[in-house]
Amino acid sequence: MIEKKITQLFESWANKKLKSIFKLPASGSYRSYYRIVSDGNTYLGVHNNDNKENNAFIAFSKEFLKLNLNVPEIYAVNHSENIYLIEDFGDETLFNRLQKIRNDTDDKTEIIVLYKKVLKELPRFQITASEHIDYDNCYPRKQFDKQSMMWDLNYFKYYFLKLAQIPFDEQLLEEDFEKFVAFLLKTETNYFLYRDFQSRNIMLKNENPYFIDYQGGRKGALQYDVASLLYDAKADLDNETRTELLDFYLDELSVYIKVDKQEFKSFLYPYVIIRILQAMGAYGFRGFYENKPLFLQSIPYAINNLNYLLENIELKTDTNYLFEVLHNLKNSVKINHIINSQKLKIKINSFSFKKQHPADNSGNGGGFVFDCRALPNPGRLDYYKTLTGKNQEVINYLENDKNVIQFVNNVFALVSISIDNYIERGFENLMISFGCTGGQHRSVYCAEKLAMLIFDRFRIQADVYHIEQADRK
């Protein structure tokens, strides 16, 4: 039904028929995204039952576009059906690129270059855009104030501490929450706060960053967004890189306003903590309460970040009991079980059916084998013969056929059942193989795509082997 409504909105706006529409894999929000293909171009249809959140995103987008910020253009809106059409920036996030760099070259210089491009844009949102935003459009509040902060801290308390079965004295913790918030509010809070400024909400297109998911924006402190980016648990930046990037951001910020760098840093790390606690509340809600393993996989990274701050940074907030509770997270039986469950190793192969099936040397006795030969074969066309399923031209060719997308999504749904079960039972190995005629195009594409989907959902980096190319990713 949603696809039909989005199709109608698109065809009314574009005055032409679409070629195909398919739902994208679910992310961390309750919004649903649909990719539309028409005349060689792609668009995104969005459905979200929270109309106030939709209005905030659309209103912010219009203001950002006037300032030439890299955000999606809004093409059409149907408020009564809670759907709208936006520009499609593709599938590559900063997070995806970060993982690819680490797997291919582990070139920290390339990572830093990308992050500096992002941080160069951040003050334009925080300072320049702040002067043009109508904060009446903010949802659920106009400012990241005491009430907003207490919401986040209690989110952490009830959905993480309680569900992770971590004991605490509620009165003492509540008193420290009050003191912690009072300290945070001593700094200036009249800038635009993006709210979820992290690597999965930054798209890469032509090597430039593009920005999405700012519908939670409101007035707040400058420290919050840079804390969100540099201490994004999933990105797992090392502390040396964080220091270099923070100095770069402060230099960029100084172009717009006068900055006392020491004072800025004295508030930064407490803002890092409240951001981590908000994220851990989300991990607990989605992981423990909604039983989605993806979110549990981020918990060890968040705890490592907290431990580093508590052990290495002087935090002048007079909240000893709060910090005692945070120190004790690493002693939780339930959390240690989550950490131990991350032992699962996934190997994905591409191969040629004309030769032989891949051998499983893990001792697990084999795994999934999927036959890609029913999919369209670019290898039959001269233009594609010298290319592989990792080349963008081949990817575009295959993704232009909705059966290819459906095939990969169905494989992912099937494999996910085993991954969930293997994690729960502490299994250590899973092998998945894709075969096609020559082992160059379809099987390679499917292996690469599945690895990306697995990482996005489970935060498990699969080892991908393209047997006919003698090429290990």
Task: Report the CATH number at residue 262.
Answer: 3.90.1200.10
Phi, psi angles (nearest 5°) of residue 121: -85, -25
Residues 325 and 405 in one domain: no
As given in the structure block, the two tokens for residue 193 are 């706060």
Residues 378 and 326 in one domain: no
H-helix segments, 185-236: 222-230
Residue 390 CB-half CA count within 13 A: 14
Residues 356 and 437 in one domain: yes
Q: At what angle do helices 261-283 and 239-253 cross, to 10 degrees?
A: 120
Residues 173 and 235 in one domain: yes
Number of domains present in the structure of the chain: 3
Q: What phi-psi label fits residue 439: left (phi over 0), alpha (psi between -120 and 50 degrees) or beta? A: left
What are the CA-CA distances from residue 77 to residues 12, 13, 46, 60, 377 (Å)?
11, 9, 10, 14, 38
HEC states along 77-113? EEHHHCEEEEECCCCCEHHHHHHHHHHHCCCHHHHHH
| Distance in angstroms (rounded) separating the CA atoms of residues 459 and 98 | 13
What does the angle CA 347 – CA 349 – CA 352 come to, to the nearest 5 degrees? 165
Type of residue numbered 258: K
CATH of residue 23: 3.30.200.20
Residues 107 and 27 in one domain: no
Residue 471: the pLDDT is 45
Full domain range(s) for residue 135? 94-338
What does the angle CA 284 – CA 275 – CA 94 come to, to the nearest 5 degrees? 90
Residues 243 and 366 in one domain: no
Residues 219 and 295 in one domain: yes
Residues 258 and 396 in one domain: no
Residue 331: the pLDDT is 85
Output the pTM of the full model: 0.76
Per-residue pLDDT of the chain (473 residues; tens, 9 = 90+): 899 999 999 999 999 999 999 999 877 778 999 999 998 899 999 999 999 999 999 999 999 999 999 999 999 999 999 999 999 999 999 999 999 999 888 889 999 999 999 999 999 999 999 999 999 999 999 999 999 999 999 999 999 999 999 999 999 999 999 999 999 999 999 999 999 999 999 999 999 999 999 999 999 999 999 999 999 998 999 999 999 999 999 999 999 999 999 999 999 999 999 999 999 999 999 988 887 777 888 898 999 999 999 999 999 899 999 999 999 998 887 887 677 667 788 999 999 999 878 888 888 888 999 999 999 999 889 898 889 999 999 999 999 999 999 999 999 999 999 988 888 787 889 999 999 999 999 999 999 999 999 987 776 778 999 998 864 34
Q: What phi-psi label fits residue 195: left (phi over 0), alpha (psi between -120 and 50 degrees) or beta? A: left
Residues 333 and 352 in one domain: no
Type of residue numbered 399: E
Residue 89 CB neighbours (<10 A)? 20
Residues 296 and 439 in one domain: no
DSSP letter at 289 equals I
Among 87, 121, 152, the domain-final residue is: 87
Residues 252 and 285 in one domain: yes
Taking alpha carbons only, the member of 270, 232, 251 closest to residue 116 is 251
Residues 330 and 420 in one domain: no
Residue 340: the pLDDT is 60
| Distance in angstroms (rounded) separating the CA atoms of residues 4 and 266 | 52
In sequence order, what are the beta bridge partners of 370?
434
Q: What phi-psi label fits residue 426: left (phi over 0), alpha (psi between -120 and 50 degrees) or beta? A: left
Among 64, 87, 110, the domain-final residue is: 87
CB within 8 A of 250, min separation 6: which ones? 259, 261, 264
| Distance in angstroms (rounded) separating the CA atoms of residues 30 and 49 | 8
Among 315, 338, 361, the domain-final residue is: 338
DSSP letter at 73 equals P
Phi, psi angles (nearest 5°) of residue 39: 55, 40
| Distance in angstroms (rounded) separating the CA atoms of residues 83 and 47 | 5
